[in-house]
Amino acid sequence: MLGDVRNLKTSDIELNQRLPTLECEWLVGQLRSRPGIAAASCAQDARRLTVEYDADEVATGDLLDFLNQCGVRVAAVHAVRI
């Protein structure tokens, strides 16, 4: 998939509350399996997710909708500048 990525973006997603470890691992796995997602990880404090995605295929709103469907409430989204 990474070979096809043309417009890679990274977002730090701040959650309203800390996720238990197993829920965080499950959520990261679900994100990684979605088309257009290059990488996803949970911060050590489990209150933030970092998601790398092809912005030509996935919009930030799509990520927020998916997290909402999973019952995860988002406090803020920060674009990561590299």
| C-alpha–C-alpha distance, residues 61 and 23, integer Å | 21
pLDDT tens per residue across span 13-30: 999 999 999 999 999 999
Provide the whole-model pTM.
Answer: 0.86
> Is the pLDDT reported for residue 4 higher than 80?
no
Q: Which amino acid is at 25?
A: E
Tens digit of each residue's pLDDT (9 = 90 or more) over 42-78: 998 889 999 999 999 999 999 999 999 999 999 999 9
Fold of the domain spanning 2-79: Alpha-Beta Plaits (3.30.70)
List Cα–Cα distances, 16 to 19, 47, 56, in angstroms. 9, 7, 28
Cβ-proximal residues to 76 (8 Å cutoff; 6+ apart), any chain: 13, 14
Domains of the chain, residue spans: 2-79
Residue 74 to residue 72: CA distance in whole angstroms: 7
